[in-house]
Amino acid sequence: MKIAPILKLWGMPIAIALLSIFGLIIALAGSSILWDIWSWMALAIPLLLIINKYFFNRH
């Protein structure tokens, strides 16, 4: 089994999931404004990627 076709198919969903999990953990762990900014950025990036793909990259 080759790893390249699997990463081509599942690479972006795994990256989005890991970024979302990171953002949620940071939101729960931190208590200052800096932690809040990092968590909002980590949670906003997957949303922006999904919105971009859905609305602007339709073929």
- Encode pLDDT of 19-55 as tens digits: 999 999 999 998 899 999 999 999 999 999 889 988 8
pLDDT score recorded for residue 4: 83
Q: Comparing C-alpha atoms, which of 14, 16, 11, 37 is closest to residue 26?
A: 37
1: confidence class by pLDDT, cuts 50, 70, 90: low
Q: Kindly compute the dihedral angle of the four CA atoms of residues 31, 17, 40, 23, in this order, to the nearest 10 degrees.
A: 10
pLDDT score recorded for residue 25: 95
Please state, as a whole number, how many other Cβ atoms lie within 10 Å of the Cβ of residue 49: 14
| pTM to 2 decimal places | 0.77
Check pLDDT > 80 for residue 59: no
